[in-house]
Structure formats: C-alpha cells, structure tokens
Amino acid sequence: MTYTRPHGAQSLRTMLQGPDPSARLRAALSAGTYPTPEYVEVLVEQCAVEPDFYVRDTLTWALTRHTAPATVDRVLRELTSQIPQARSQSLHTLSKFGDPRTWPAITTELLQDDDAEVARAAWRAAVAVVPPDGVAELAEVLATQFDRGDHDVQRSLSRALVDLGDPASAVVERAKAHPDTGVRRHAIATGRLIEDPDEGFEAAVHEANRVLALLGSPEVRD
C-alpha cells in the first residue's frame, strides 16, 4: 500500500487535525513512510492530543522512522509536559528507541506519576532502557507501587518487575511481609510470575489470595 506524502509540516498538521481517525491514521502512516525532519514536531504535538489509540501507536511508529538523535531529543522534552497523554505517549515512544539518554530522564516522579497511564508507560520505558547498574534502584522504586490501581495497572507493574529479572526478587520478597494486605497479595502474585513468567496474572492473584487465606489474612478481592 502506498501513501501520499504530505506537502510539508503544515500539510501534515492539517491532515492530523481532521475529524476522521482513518484519515489521521493514513497521515501518520505517510509521515513514517516518507520520514522528513520537519514532521517530527508535528508528530510529537499530535501525540499529546490524539484520541484514537491506533493512531497514537502509529504516530509513535512514524517517529521511530525518523533520525534517532534529534527525534529523541524532542520527545524527551515532552516528559515535563503538563498534559498526561503527552508524558505517557512520549515514554512509550522512547521505549521503542531504547536510547541510553532516556534512563536519566525517567525520574521517580514519572515512575510514581499520579496518572496511572503515565506511570505504566514509565515502568515499561524504564525497563527497556535501564543500565545494569540501575536495575536494583529501579526495582526499589517500582516496589513502592504495589497494590496501586486496577487489575491492568497491577498486572503492568508485575510484568515490569518480572522483566527486571533476579534483581527484583529481593524487593518482591520484602514486600510479601508488608503490613498492608493488598501489597502482600500483589507481591505474592508477582513472586509467582518471577518464578513462572508464563503463569497468567489472574491465576497468580488467585493463588496469592489462597496463600493469604491460609495465613489468616482477610481476603479483600480476587
């Protein structure tokens, strides 16, 4: 399939501001098919406001088709945006680049962001770019997020810790003795996933509830 190349940044901006998500998707695909430095600013701007998930994902793909150094520099600036979607989508994009400069930019504030989608994106991005000597530190920060949010948020945190490998085991084991039942449940479930990454999160939580029941802890939720 071929796509018509936008005639400059303003043309791309106009196409991406249209009401039809299919047309915006085609515009993003075109920008990635025919990468040009002047498109980067427009693509980053749209990431902050694009309502359609598939278009946002294509915007990220289009950005990864552009020269890495300059593009990464521009995307990094979005991490301090006041717009949560700008932060979360930029983190998602940076995780695809895997640029080492991303690691120091992923602050504790981002990893603990009040917006759950930003935090989840920060967890994934951090795992993708953390250097070996930063894994233990990252695991400690991630452990502060046990029992946060809904099922999907908790599953994301568990998967991030699983992806960190053995260095995460110590903080998970410590969290199993936390005074909060929800934290213990989440830690136990995560520990099971570290031992068997193929086990589903739902099954791990179910087993964690069983363990807590045997220990005499009240079950709060399944």
CB 27 within 8 A of CB 8: no
Residue-level pLDDT at 220: 47
Residue-level pLDDT at 184: 93
In angstroms, rounded to a whole number, what is the distance separating the alpha carbons of residues 222 and 128?
30
- Amino acid in position 180: D
Residue-level pLDDT at 8: 84
Residue-level pLDDT at 3: 61
Based on its alpha-carbon atoms, the radius of gyration of the chain, rounded to whole angstroms, reads: 20
Q: Could you report the average pLDDT of every consecutive run of 10 residues in the chain (222 residues)?
A: 73 94 95 94 98 97 94 96 98 95 96 98 97 95 96 96 92 94 94 90 90 69 48
- Provide the terminal-to-terminal Cα distance of the chain, rounded to the nearest Å: 47
- Max Cα separation, the chain? 67
Question: pTM to 2 decimals?
Answer: 0.89
Residue-level pLDDT at 74: 97
Residue with tokens 């213990």: 184
